[in-house]
């Protein structure tokens, strides 16, 4: 109960909104609310803005969506004055962009840095959030907006004997600001996810020797990075509004030339030509090659084999190429990586691949890492071991809603939300790109813009009508969770042990967290919900309930489903209990 909460008894006037996090989401949220005359502040754990791009400074860190699309579109002045240097901007440039946004809109005067929120308790009587930071500061706000990022809390992975190791240990997600020079060193790296795949080629080019400890290989496509071709820039610059609108009106929030054709209906020569063309283009374009690869295992196998062939082309030792080829998950069911020279790095004489499946990691020694087969000596070790994705930054806050209910308890079987935006029993709490929203399956900037604008409209509507609180109904939350499951179940996505499923964190409930129905569909649903006077939400003025529509009745626009895929879809939905058996 709020009455017994340690966070009551504060007498300061509540501000309209407290935003947690000064990454792209928190910055735009602040700018937007300020423009609407709402008194808003941000607290940020780091000493600067940028979120992901503030923390992840490992060598080779860069965005994997093209920069022309991975940048804000909400302000034409900002858009026209910034010119990206490369197709896929490197982290330092992304951080400069974040700084530029903060300066241009004078955001820092309302951001408190080096401050992490420890607790936030809803006060049932006063209808405000009482917030406490790890630094001991107390704040009150009507609305609490978590812009805490989907990949911001590293997993707690540790290894026996790690404290005895005498060399340096670096985490990709907490890289020293001054950088690291590995020249002349023997280096080990644990992990082969995106962070490792981006950093391995650079570390290998500096170090005397690099040992890569791989448990599970990932699929990676070449970025073919370089300056933005003039033709691409001109196509974008001709009408950036139209370009952005087209990006947002896609499943992934970026342009991918999605093809309606089915691989299983296409002649082998034509498949090869299409996949080659997309591979040469680079990045995620291959994901849109055929409409059935995300659903039909047969179609997916065609792409798997194509990519395996590409790995063999790049890696001269066939045994190493084989080890680098994923075999445990369909293509695209874990976030594919986008690299610059990753596979070719294994042709270097100073790079060695250790297969932890055959030679498990025993632990650290004072001099390095021991596997069941050998002791490896290192001057430095890099941990590229991933994140407690989507929920980690939220459930680490002592967050308590109505009646003192803790978010951890509410999410004991996986994160339940309504639209990925709000949680039943947690009034006036918003999550930007939260679980249950398209978020990590999309271009994050476009998802952020859509969420920020929806939340801002909602707060304006509440204020105009002197409404004090909005809360997702339990019924709407349950209906949304079911819809999230319906959206992903027909696909192959749940078949991988991915961080999308919470599979990389021991003990984390297995549940596919992001909404797989597409950013375009999702935006349409959110707009319908708002247009129906926030259906599925309970709106109050003080204790008085003003609107209580409870049910979520909005429906996603129905796209055409190729007839050939229907039996697979029906079978999976039926097996999951999401469709009655005939
Ligand atoms: P990822 O993609 O979660 O990769 C983490 C890697 O670390 C992965 O290869 C893991 O192997 C490996 N790992 C984790 N724990 C261990 C232990 N205990 N022993 C050995 N290997 C381990 O994180 P990233 O930071 O690379 O990328 C995250 C996202 O950021 C990425 O998807 C992009 O969206 C940007 P495993 O697969 O579990 O066998």
User: Which stretches within 88-127 are classed as H helix?
Assistant: 91-104
174, 504, 507, 514: which to mutate for ligand 1, most atoms within 8 A of CB?
Answer: 504
What does the alpha-carbon distance between residue 22 and residue 114 come to, in Å, rounded to a whole number?
A: 11
Distance 368 CA to ligand 1 centre (A): 20
Residue 112 CB less than 6 A away from ligand 1: no
- Our answer on whether the CB atom of 294 is closer than 6 Å to any ligand 1 atom is no
Quickly state the pLDDT bin for 3 (edges 50, 70, 90).
very low
CA 347 and chain centroid, separation: 32
List the residue whose alpha carbon is closest to atom 12 of ligand 1: 191
Average pLDDT over residues 364-393: 98
Tokens of 274: 């299409």
- At residue 11 the predicted structure's pLDDT band, cuts being 50, 70 and 90, is low
DSSP 3-state assignment of 321?
Answer: helix
Nearest atom in ligand 1 to 56's CA? 25
* Beta-carbon-side half-sphere exposure of residue 97 (alpha carbons within 13 Å): 27
Query: Quick check: helix, strand or coil at residue 384?
Result: coil
Band of residue 216 on the pLDDT scale cut at 50, 70, 90:
very high
Q: CA distances (Å), 485 to each of 170, 182, 332, in order?
A: 37, 45, 18
Nearest alpha-carbon partner for 372 in 352, 351, 357: 357
**Rounded-to-integer distance, Cα 127 and Cα 541, Å:** 9
Residue 292 C-alpha to ligand 1 middle, in angstroms? 27
Residue ID of nearest Cα to ligand 1 atom 30: 194
CB distance 504 to ligand 1 below 6 Å: yes
Residue 421: predicted pLDDT: 98
- DSSP letters, 226-261, are SSPPHHHHHHHHH-HHHHHHHHHTSSSSS-------
196 lines ligand 1 (CB under 6 A): yes
Instruction: Give yes or no for residue 356 CB within 6 A of ligand 1.
Output: yes
As a whole number of angstroms, the distance between CA 296 and CA 304 comes to 12
Angle at 312 (CA atoms; ends 306, 318), nearest 5 degrees: 140
Instruction: Tell me, in angstroms, the distance from the centre of ligand 1 to residue 475's CA.
Output: 36
Q: What is the mean pLDDT of the chain?
A: 96
237 lines ligand 1 (CB under 6 A): no
Q: Give the span between the Cα atoms of 442 and 446, in whole angstroms.
A: 8
* pLDDT at 4 > cutoff 50: no
pLDDT of residue 557: 78
* Distance from Cα 201 to the centre of ligand 1, integer Å: 17
Q: How far apart are CA 311 and CA 220, in angstroms?
A: 9
Report angle CA 251, 56, 253 to the nearest 5 degrees: 10
Q: Tens of pLDDT along 269-314?
A: 999 999 999 999 999 999 999 999 999 999 999 999 999 999 999 9
Mean pLDDT of 182-207: 98
Q: DSSP assignment of 68-95, as one string? A: TTSS--S-HHHHHH---SSSS-BHHHHH
The answer, yes or no, to whether residue 6 has pLDDT greater than 60, is no
**313: Cβ contacts below 8 Å, ≥ 6 apart:** none
Say what the pLDDT of residue 10 is: 52
List strand residue ranges (DSSP E) for 25-71, in order. Answer: 40-43
Q: Is the pLDDT of residue 550 over 90?
A: no
pLDDT at 219 > cutoff 50: yes
- Please determine, for residue 25, whether its predicted confidence score (pLDDT) is greater than 70: yes
Residue 193 near ligand 1, beta carbon < 6 Å: yes
**pLDDT band for position 525 (50/70/90)?**
very high
Ligand 1 center to residue 326 CA distance, Å?
A: 14
Distance from Cα 383 to the centre of ligand 1, integer Å = 9
pLDDT classification of 225: cutoffs 50, 70, 90: very high
> Which pLDDT tens digit goes with each residue over 427-482?
999 999 999 999 999 999 999 999 999 999 999 999 999 999 999 999 999 999 99
């Amino acid at each position: 109960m709020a009455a017994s909460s340690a966070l009551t008894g504060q007498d300061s006037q509540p501000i309209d909104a407290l935003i947690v996090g000064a990454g792209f989401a928190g910055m735009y949220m602040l700018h937007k609310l300020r423009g609407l005359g709402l008194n808003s502040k941000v607290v940020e754990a780091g000493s600067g803005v940028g979120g992901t791009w503030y923390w992840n400074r490992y060598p080779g860190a860069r965005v994997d969506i093209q920069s022309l699309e991975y940048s804000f579109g909400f302000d034409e002045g900002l858009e026209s004055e910034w010119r990206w240097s490369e197709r896929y901007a490197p982290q330092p440039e992304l951080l400069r962009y974040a700084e530029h946004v903060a300066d241009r809109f004078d955001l820092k005067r309302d951001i408190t840095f080096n401050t992490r929120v420890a607790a936030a308790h809803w006060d049932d009587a006063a209808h405000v959030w009482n917030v406490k930071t790890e630094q001991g500061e107390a704040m009150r706000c009507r609305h609490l907006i978590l812009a805490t990022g989907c990949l911001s809390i590293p997993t707690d992975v540790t290894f026996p004997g790690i404290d005895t190791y005498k060399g340096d240990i670096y985490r990709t997600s907490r890289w020293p600001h001054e950088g690291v020079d590995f020249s002349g060193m023997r280096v080990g790296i644990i992990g082969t996810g995106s962070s490792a795949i981006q950093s391995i080629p650079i570390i290998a080019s500096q170090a005397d020797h690099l040992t890569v400890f791989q448990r599970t290989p990932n699929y990676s496509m070449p970025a073919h990075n370089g300056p933005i071709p003039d033709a691409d820039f001109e196509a974008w610059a001709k009408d950036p509004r139209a370009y952005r609108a087209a990006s947002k009106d896609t499943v992934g929030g970026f342009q991918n030339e999605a093809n309606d054709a089915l691989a299983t209906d296409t002649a082998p020569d034509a498949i090869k030509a299409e996949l080659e063309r997309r591979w040469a283009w680079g990045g995620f374009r291959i994901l849109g090659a055929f409409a059935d690869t995300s659903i039909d295992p047969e179609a997916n196998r065609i792409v798997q084999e194509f990519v395996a062939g590409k790995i063999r082309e790049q890696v001269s030792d066939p045994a190493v190429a084989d080890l680098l080829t994923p075999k445990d998950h369909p293509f695209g069911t874990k976030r594919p990586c986008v690299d610059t020279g990753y596979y070719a790095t294994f042709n270097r004489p100073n790079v060695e691949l250790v297969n932890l499946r055959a030679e498990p990691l025993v632990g650290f020694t004072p001099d390095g890492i021991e596997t069941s087969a050998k002791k490896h000596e290192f001057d430095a070790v890099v941990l590229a071991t991933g994140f407690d994705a989507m929920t980690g930054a939220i459930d680490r806050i002592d967050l308590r809603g109505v009646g003192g209910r803790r978010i951890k308890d509410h999410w004991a079987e996986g994160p339940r939300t309504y639209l990925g935006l709000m949680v039943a029993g947690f009034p006036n709490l918003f999550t930007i790109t939260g679980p249950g929203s398209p978020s990590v399956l999309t271009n994050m900037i476009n998802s952020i813009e859509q969420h920020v604008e929806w939340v801002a409209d909602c707060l304006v509507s509440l204020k105009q009508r002197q409404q004090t609180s909005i809360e997702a109904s339990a019924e709407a939350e349950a209906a949304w969770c079911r819809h999230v499951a319906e959206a992903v179940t027909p696909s192959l996505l749940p078949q991988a042990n991915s961080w999308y499923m919470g599979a990389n964190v021991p003990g984390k409930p297995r549940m596919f967290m992001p909404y797989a129905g597409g950013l375009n569909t999702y935006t349409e649903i959110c707009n319908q919900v708002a247009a129906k006077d926030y259906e599925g939400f309970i709106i109050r003025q003080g204790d008085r309930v003003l609107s209580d529509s409870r049910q979520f009745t909005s429906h996603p626009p129905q796209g055409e489903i190729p007839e050939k895929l229907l039996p697979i879809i029906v079978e999976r939905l039926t097996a999951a209990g999401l469709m009655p058996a005939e």
